[in-house]
Structure 1
Amino acid sequence: MGNKNSRSKHERSVIKNIQEFNQIESDQERHEKLLEYYFSNDTDFMDRLHVFHFLRQHVFQSNFSSPIEDKLIEGGYKVLDIGCGPGTWSLDLSSKHANSNFIGIDVEPMFPHEIKPNNVKFIEADVSNGLSFGDNEFDFTHIELMRLIYTSDKWDFIFSEFIRVTKPGGYIEVSGRRNEDVVRAPIYSKLMDIVNISGTKRNLDVNLIYNLESKFELHPNIENVHRIEKKFIIGPNGDKIGLITQDLALTHFKTGPLSKILPEEMGISEEEYKSMIEKDLTEEFEQSCSESIYVRIWAQKQLM
C-alpha cells in the first residue's frame, strides 16, 4: 500500500512541477525545461512514466495530434485517458484547460488519489472488462503505450469500447512505438526481437501499431483516419533527447520483469545479462545511431 504521507508528497511534487512548467510562455523554453528537469530526476517506475510523457510531448511538440485544441480552450470538453498510469497526461492537460474535464482510468491505481485539480478524476478500472461509461459520453478518447498489456483476442472489444463511449464528431487517438523497419545496432536489435518473441508467446499483439488503421477502418462509423510518425536517435548521437531515451531504455532493460524474462529467453545468467546491458549496450548506444519511432493514429467518429 505504501506510506500515505509519502504518496501525498509525491502527488504534490508532480502537480507542482507540471504547474510550474506550464507557466513558461515559450513552447521551446518549456520543452527544454522539461527535458532538463527529467533528465536529472531519479528513475523509479513512476518517474520513468512521467519522463516518457514529457519526452513524447517534446518529440511531437504537443500532447495530442487530433484537432481538438480550440474545443479544449473553449471549455466544456470531456476527455477520457485510458491506461493513464500516474496520470501525467491528464494532469498536464487539465492544468492548461481548467474549463474542460478529464477522466483517467488504469488497472493499476498509481495515479494521484488526493492531490489533483478539480477538473480531473481517476478511476481504477480495466478497459478489457468493458467501460462503465454510457454511450457517446466523451469528446476525446486517448490511449498510449499499451500494445504489450492486452492479448490479441481482446483488442477488437477494446476498440469497440473506445468508439462506443466517444461522441459522434469526437476523436479517438492511439499511440505507441513502431518496431519494424527501424534502424538498430545489433545488441539493441536482438533485445527488442526477444521482447517481441516473448510477447508473441504470451499472445500479445506486438504488431498492434501496424494494424490500428485497418481496425479503425473496419468500423462503419469511423472516418478521417490519420497517422503521424516521429523518429529520433537513441544515445549521445541523438543529443539531449537521445541521452534521455538511452537512460530510459537501459533502466527498462535492467529492472522489472524484463530483467528476469530476457536472460532466460537468451539462455544466459542474470549476471551476464546485467553486464551486457550496463557495459555492451551502453557502449553500443554511444557508438551507433539506433532509432526509436513513435506513432500517433487518430480518427473521428461519424456524426449521426
Structure 2
Amino acid sequence: MGNKNSKLKHKRLSSSVNKIQEFDKILSEQERQEKLLDYYLMTDASYIDPLHSYKFLRDYLFQSNFSSPIEDKLIEGCKVLDIGCGPGTWLLELSSKYEDSYFFGVDIKSVFPQQIKPNNLEFIKADVTDGLSFNDNEFDFTHAEFMNPMFTPDQWDFVLSELIRVTKPGGYIEVADLNSARVNQGPIFRKIADAIWATFSKRGIDVKLINNFDSKFELHPNIGKVHRIEKDVITGPNGGKIGLLYQDIAISYFNSEITSKVVSEEIGISEEEYKDMLKKLVEEFKRTNSEHSHVRFWTQKQLLEEWP
C-alpha cells in the first residue's frame, strides 16, 4: 500500500466522491469513501446473497466452474489463486470438491468468511493493484471474475502481468466477466445501465474493454493462444427460469441503498422516482428480450523451453 498506483486510485475515488451527492447518515469523508467503495465492489451487505446466486447462474450457463483444462490437476492436487474473490463463493465450492488442492483468495474488502471455511482455503485482504505478494511461478491456476468494472486499462495490464508472473509454466490463467454489449434493451433498462456505466467511466474504467479482452490478453508475453467462450442469457421471464433468476439478481443490485443513491444522482432524479423506475423495469422485462453475454477467456503460460 502507499505506492503510486494506490495514490492515483485514491485521487480518482476522491474525485468521484465530490461528484456524488453526500450520503445521509454518513459522518465523515472516510466513511463516504468506504460506502462508495462498497458500491463499486458490490460488497454492500444487501448484495452478498445475490453475488452467491450470480455465481451459480454462471455455472449453469457454462455447465462448469471454469473453462480451463485444469480438472485433472485439481483432482491430483495443485495450487489455485482467485483475485477479487468477494464473498468467496467460487473458492468455497472448489476447495470443498478438490480436497487435495490448496486455494487462495485475495480481495481488497474482507467480505469473505473469516473462520468457517475448509482447511485448504486461505483468504487474504490485499489490493491486487499494489502487486501480488506471491513468488514467481507459484500457482497452477490463476483466476479473476467480474473484475472489469474495477480496473482501468492500465491497471488491467499490470494485473494481467501479475497473474502471468505468479502462474507456473504450463499453468492456466482465466478471466471471466459480463460482456457490456447490450442487445434488445428497453428504454428503462438502457437508462439505468447508461447511468451505472457513466459512474464507472468517471473513474477511468473502460466498460467495453471486456468485449475485446482477448486482444489485450494477447499483448502479454509468455502465454499461448487465448481461448474465448461466450454464453447468452435473456433477462426476465422471456429467458425462462434462468432469465428470472438473472432479473432478480439485477433488481437486487439496482435496488440496494448505495446503488439507489448513486444512480438516481447520476440520472438527476429523486430516489423515489428511481424506485418507481425499478417497478416499471420489472414490467418492461416482460415485453423485451434484453440479452447479455457472459464470457470467459483462458490461456496457458508457456513452458520454459518455449520462451523466446
* 8 A contact 1:50–1:88 mirrored in 2: yes
Which residue is 2:191 aligned to? 190
Aligned match of 1:248: 249
Deviation digits for residues 18-70 of structure 1 (CA, Å, limit 9, x no counterpart): xxxxxxxxxxxxxxxxxxxxxxxxx9321111111111111111000001111
Question: In structure 2, how many angstroms separate the alpha carbons of the residues matched to 1:273 and 1:176?
Answer: 27
- For residue 74 of structure 2, the aligned residue among 58, 72, 75 is 72
Structure 1 contact 227–298 (Cα < 8 Å) conserved: yes
Which amino acid is the alignment partner of residue 63 of structure 2? Q
**How many Å apart are 1:73 and its aligned residue?**
1.3
RCO (CA 8 Å, sep 6+): is it higher in 1 or 2?
A: 2
Name the SS for the 2:149 alignment partner.
Answer: coil
Q: Could you tell me how far apart the structure 1 residues matched to 2:47 and 2:233 are?
A: 23
Cα offset, 1:211, TM superposition: 3.6
Pairs within 5 Å for 1:25-44: 44=46
What is the alpha-carbon root mean square deviation over aligned residues?
A: 1.3
- Aligned residue number for residue 118 of structure 1: 119
Paired residue type of 1:51:
S
Aligned to 2:302: 302
Decide whether the 8 Å contact of 1:175 with 1:295 is kept in 2: yes
SS of the aligned residue for 1:223 comes to: coil
1:256: Cα distance to partner?
A: 4.1
The answer for the alignment partner of 2:99 in structure 1 is 98
What SS does the aligned partner of 2:148 have?
A: coil
Match of 2:175 in 1: 174
Q: Do the aligned residues in 1 keep the contact of 2:86 with 2:109 (CA within 8 Å)?
A: yes
Give the corresponding residue for 1:286. Answer: 286
C-alpha contact 2:186 2:284 (8 A) present in aligned 1: yes
Q: 2:157, 2:194 → 1: CA distance?
A: 25
Shift in Å, 1:220: 2.2
Q: What letter is aligned with 2:105?
A: G
CA distance in 2, matches of 1:95, 1:80: 15
Alignment of 1:231 with 2:232, yes or no, is yes
Matches within 5 A, 1:78-227: 78-227=79-228
Give how far 1:181 is off.
4.9
Shift of 1:244: 0.8
- How far off is 1:175 after superposition? 0.5
Per-residue CA deviations over 1:98-141 (Å, capped at 9, x if unaligned) read 01111111111111111111111111111001000000000000
TM-score relative to the length of structure 1: 0.82
Partner amino acid for 2:126?
A
Q: 5+ residue gaps in structure 1? A: 1-42
Cα distance in 2 for residues equivalent to 1:184 and 1:296: 23
Q: Distance in 1 between matches of 2:257 and 2:214?
A: 31
Matches within 5 A, 1:22-61: 44-61=46-63
Normalised TM-score (structure 2): 0.81
Superposed CA deviations along residues 61-82 of structure 1, whole A, max 9, x for unmatched, are: 100000111111122x100011
SS at match of 1:229: strand
State the match for 2:260 in structure 1.
259
- CA offsets 1:212-268 (integer angstroms, 9 cap, x no match): 212221122111210011001111111111111111111111114321122122121
Is there any run of 5+ residues in structure 2 with no aligned partner, and where? 1-44
Give secondary structure in 2 for the equivalent of 1:70: helix
Q: 1:174 Cα shift?
A: 0.4
Aligned length, in residue pairs = 260
Q: For the residues of structure 2 that align with 1:110 and 1:166, how far apart are their CA atoms? A: 25
Question: For 2:239 and 2:57, how far apart are their aligned partners in 1?
Answer: 13
Q: Which portions of structure 1, spanning 4 or more consecutive aligned residues, are displaced by more than 6 angstroms? A: none
How far apart are residue 205 of structure 1 and its match? 2.2
